[in-house]
Structure formats: structure tokens, C-alpha cells
Amino acid sequence: MKKLNRAALVLYAKRPFLKWVNGLGAPPLTLDELRKDPSVYLVPAFADDASTAQYLAREYDVFFREQLSSWWTDEADWPGNRTFKLFEQWFDYSVHDLVFDAVKERLVREDLR
């Protein structure tokens, strides 16, 4: 097993995101259903919480856009003024500094966009 030089950012939907998702016209979901399988992103590992907070305050829109596009690709229907404050209203998150690769096979990276 090898420790990765990354941290894991885990995003959990909150009610405003649920309301947006449910407004897209698909069968409605509950918050529990939406939070059951949260998104996990590998992010830089920082030495302290303050550095992690600065990174998130600077890069939040990358994650916000990814969450929105995973449900709906028409950006015209996305919230227009995506601030860090709005991100925090729509998502809970946790950052985990210890990330291990427990698989012996070579890690494969695939660009999605």
C-alpha cells in the first residue's frame, strides 16, 4: 500500500443543490439519496487547514461546475453568480489528508473533458 501525495475532498449535497436537481424534471430525489454516494476529488495535500481553506476558496468553482455538469450540461440553467458562499450553501465538504492506494495495479488517469 502506498500513501498518495494528495488529499481527498468529499462533497455532500445540501438542500439548495437538491432543490436545483429536483427542478430539472427527472423523478425527484431525497437528500439522503443524493448524499448516499458523494463525489470524491483528489486535491493537493497541504501542510495546514488554513492552506486547505485558501485553496478551496480559490478553486471552489472547478468543483461547483463539475457537480452541476454531472446533472445538467446546459450552463444556461446553472446558477449564474457562483460564489464561494453559494458553494458552501449548496455543499458540505470534508478534506482527508491521508489518502492511500490499496490497489497493486497501475493507476490509470482519464481526462473527462
- Parse the chain into domains and list their residue ranges: 2-101
Q: Which amino acid is at 38?
A: P
Position 113 scores a pLDDT of: 65
Please state, in angstroms and rounded to a whole number, the distance separating the CA atoms of residues 98 and 67.
24
Strand 39-44 and strand 91-96: the pairing is: unpaired
Position 43 scores a pLDDT of: 97
Q: Which amino acid is at 110?
A: E
pLDDT above 70 (res 100): yes
Question: Could you read off the pLDDT of 39-96 as tens digits, one per residue?
Answer: 999 999 999 999 999 999 999 999 999 999 999 999 999 999 999 999 999 999 999 9
Position 112 scores a pLDDT of: 74
| Backbone phi, psi, residue 74, to 5° | -80, 105
